[in-house]
Amino acid sequence: MENPSIVLWIPIIILTVISITKLLRKNNSNGKPWIRIEKVKDNE
């Protein structure tokens, strides 16, 4: 391998893919979105 930084990025990419799949699975089973958007009142 010419570039050792690629070896360091591989576990980060794997963890990211695993966490995204967990979020998507939790979203499908629960029915609630995993991002919550709240309305902000004028006085806040």
Element at 22 (helix H, strand E): helix 4-30
**Whether pLDDT at 19 is above 70:** yes
- The candidate with the shortest Cα–Cα distance to 23, out of 37, 34, 11, is 34
**E strands in 1-44:** none
pTM: 0.50
In this predicted structure, what is the pLDDT of residue 13?
A: 94
Q: What angle do CA 23, 15, 4 make, to 5 degrees?
A: 155
